[in-house]
Amino acid sequence: MDDYANIWLHRAKWAYLLLVVTTLMTPVFYVMYISFNENGFGAAEYVFTTRWYGLIFADAQLMNALRWTMSLAAVTTVLTIPMALLAAKFYKATRAKVPVVFLLLAPLFVAPDILSAALLVFFKNLNFTFRWLGDQLGVSFMDGWAQLGFTTSVIGLIIYTIPYAFVVILITMGRYNKEQTEAARACGATGWRAFWDIEFPQIRPGVFSACAFTVILCFNEYTRTSLLKGGFDTFTTVLVSQMLNSGMSEQSYAMSSFVSFVAIALIGGIIVFTLLRSEAAARRAQPVAEPGTRSTAAA
């Protein structure tokens, strides 16, 4: 803002911005509020309790679902991040930028139900094809290929998360000066060493953020997992089927809040961490006194 701007107008704009953020978060906070009420939603009297959370952690089925969720998130992240890195490097090097970026960002524009319906039918057909092939060849090892299950869910989740990871990594890479890679090559580093020693340490914050994004997105995901998962259940699929079947119960409020807490804690942690780091970097950037005697270059 400049010196002549109306300070109150400026403040009003800030207030509006914060109001919007609060409005967006209100439902989540309200659910958290309810989740600690002994009497549940709509009760006249508010009694604080953590009983509903206790119920979740005592529920073996839910804990099992939570384990599935976590392994899905872990495997997806482990696969998505290297792929997003490779894709970002590929994008930087290629001249055919438009097709590459279209392929990687298009999943953002395909609604979850549509994408998972297409993948579901694709995998089922693929599975039938493998079975048929197996029958023709008289072998059975291909029967399980493309069968709905952990692998297909992971594939669905990678398609879902890779655009976010790609964009985050690409933006961080934008600040990297590629002459450094060339300098490392000139020092005798192979392409891989130059990446690992020089570029990666500098894009690491972006890679970490991309990891966090991917974990959170997987943790939250419902539609794709529920259609592609086959036999097992994840935390959100249990939660949603409970809510769709029997409406919001006290326990489902607690479950929703739990998922939200995890996500907010993760992202909040990252924000605080990056802020602290950038503050520290700013402090380091303060000019340092010249060492004792400054000799000129050898003549």
Partner 1 sequence: MNAIHPTVQVRQLSKNYGSVQALKNVDLSIAAGEYFVLLGPSGGGKTTLLRTIGGFHKPSSGQVWLNGQEVSHLPPDKRPTAMVFQAYALFPHMSVLGNVGYGLSLAKLPKAEVRDKSIAMLEMVGLKGYEDRRPHELSGGQQQRVQLARALVLDRNILLLDEPLAALDAQLRKDMCLELKHLQEKVGITFIHVTHNQEEAMTVADRIALIANGELVEQGAARDIYRTPERRFTASFVGENNLLSGTVASVEGDTVTVQVCGQPLSVDRRDLPVSTGATVALSIRSELVEMVPEDGSASSADGLSLAGTYTESVYLGLTLSHRVALSDGTQIVSRVVGESDAPPPVAGSAARVRWKPGALRLHIN
Partner 2 sequence: MTAPTDNGLDGLPPVEPYRPTLRERMSGWAFWVPIVFMVLFFALPMALTVVFSVFERTMFWMEPGFTLAAYENFFFSARLENFLSSMGYSLISVVVSFCLGFPIAVFVRKSVPQAAQHRVVLLFILPFMVSEIIRIFALRPVLQRNGLVNETLINLGLIDEPVTALIYTHTGVVIGEVLSFMPFIVFAGFLAMEAVPKFIFEVCDDLGAGPVRRFTDVILPLAAPGIFAGAVFIFVNGIGVALIPNILGGPGAVNGGLIATQAITALDFPLAMAVSAIMMATLMGLLYIGHRLFDLTKILAPMN
Tally the residues of the chain.
299
d(Cα 179, Cα 79) in Å, to the nearest integer?
29
Please say which residue, 181 or 226, places its beta carbon nearer to partner 1. 181
CB of 284 to partner 2, least distance (A): 16
- Residue 130: both structure tokens together: 């493998």
Site string for partner 1, 246-285 (x = CB under 8 A): --------------------------------------xx
24 part of the interface to partner 2, by CB under 8 A: yes
In terms of Cα–Cα distance, which of 201, 211, 122 is closest to 164? 211
Identify residues 144-173 at the interface with partner 2 (CB under 8 A): 155, 158-159, 162, 167, 170-171
Q: Could you say which of 54, 82, 191, 230 contacts partner 1 (CB under 8 A)?
A: 191
Site string for partner 1, 132-171 (x = CB under 8 A): ----------------------------------------
CB of 290 to partner 2, least distance (A): 28
For residue 42, with 0-12 CB atoms within 10 Å meaning exposed, 13-18 middle and 19 or more buried, which class applies? exposed
**What is the b/e burial string over 165-176, where b = at least 16 CB atoms within 10 angstroms of the residue's CB?**
bbbbbbebbeeb
198 part of the interface to partner 1, by CB under 8 A: yes
254 part of the interface to partner 2, by CB under 8 A: no
# residues contacting partner 2 (CB under 8 A): 85
Phi, then psi, of 96 in degrees rounded to 5? -85, 70
106 part of the interface to partner 2, by CB under 8 A: yes
Identify residues 112-141 at the interface with partner 2 (CB under 8 A): 112-115, 117-122, 124-125
Q: Which stretch binds partner 2 (CB under 8 A): 58-66, 134-142, 176-184, 251-259?
A: 251-259
Please give the DSSP secondary-structure letter assigned to residue 199.
I
Q: Could you say which of 103, 186, 265, 272 contacts partner 1 (CB under 8 A)?
A: 186
What's the longest Cα–Cα distance across the chain? 87
Q: How far is CA 114 from the centre of its chain?
A: 20
Identify residues 75-104 at the interface with partner 2 (CB under 8 A): 83-84, 86-87, 89-91, 93, 97-98, 100-101, 103-104
Q: Could you say which of 189, 243, 248, 264 contacts partner 1 (CB under 8 A)?
A: 189
CA-based angle 128:78:218, to the nearest 5? 75
Are 166 and 87 in contact by the 8 Å Cβ rule? The answer is: yes
- In the three-class reduction of DSSP (H, G, I as helix; E, B as strand; rest coil), residue 48 is classed as strand
- Residue 127: both structure tokens together: 């599975």
d(Cα 75, Cα 28) in Å, to the nearest integer?
28
In terms of Cα–Cα distance, which of 272, 219, 264 is closest to 66? 219
Q: Which stretch binds partner 2 (CB under 8 A): 54-62, 64-72, 135-143, 268-276?
A: 268-276
174 part of the interface to partner 1, by CB under 8 A: no
Q: What residues line the site for partner 1 (CB under 8 A)?
A: 177, 179-180, 182-191, 193, 197-198, 201-202, 284-285, 287-288, 291-299
